[in-house]
Amino acid sequence: MTQSDSSSVVFLSGDLMFASRVRGAAEQSGYQFRFGTSLPEGDLSSVKLVILDLATRSKLIPDIVSEVAERCAGAKFIAYAPHVHIDRIKAARDAGVPTVLTRGQFDGSLGTLFSEWVDPSG
């Protein structure tokens, strides 16, 4: 099921190459894609999913958890890191990120990420 044009995904990363893969999966599922190193300014009520790349943006933990809850109410929040970044994975979990995956798990889920992880009703 595709989303309306007002539904969006925010991808917080410094990895431009991987961002293109995530963008493709998001747009194929009907989501607008927002890419940056921090949450964008302005109204984020249309955001359905926030994805945090712990390999490049781990310094956003722990403040990002409360910022997502406050500014993107109702959005799902996922963080991921290479499996060797055990401390970053633990820090994200300890900070309250609801879903923390390895990069392999995240990458492997891109084909179904937006249909399974985001509420299709919107």
Say what the pLDDT of residue 122 is. Answer: 46
Distances (CA, A) of 77 to 5, 97: 20, 7
| Pair type for strands 8-12 and 32-36 | parallel
Structure confidence at residue 68 (pLDDT): 95
Q: What is the pTM of this model?
A: 0.89
Predicted pLDDT at 17:
93
- The pLDDT score that the predictor gives to residue 9 is 96
Which long-range contacts (C-beta less than 8 Å, at least 24 apart) are formed by 36-44?
36/10, 36/11, 36/12, 37/12, 37/13, 38/12, 39/10, 39/12, 39/64, 39/67, 39/68, 39/71, 39/72, 40/10, 44/10, 44/71, 44/72, 44/75
Q: What is the predicted pLDDT for the residue at 117?
A: 62
Query: What single-letter DSSP state applies at residue 99?
Result: E
Q: What is the pLDDT of residues 63-94, one digit of tens each?
A: 999 999 999 988 999 999 999 999 999 999 99
Residue 118: its pLDDT value, please?
A: 63
In the predicted model, residues of the chain with pLDDT beneath 70 are: 1-5, 117-122
Q: Tokens 């399974």 appear where?
A: 116
Q: State residue 116's pLDDT score.
A: 73
- Domains annotated for the chain, with CATH where assigned, are 8-116 (3.40.50.2300)
pLDDT value at residue 92: 96
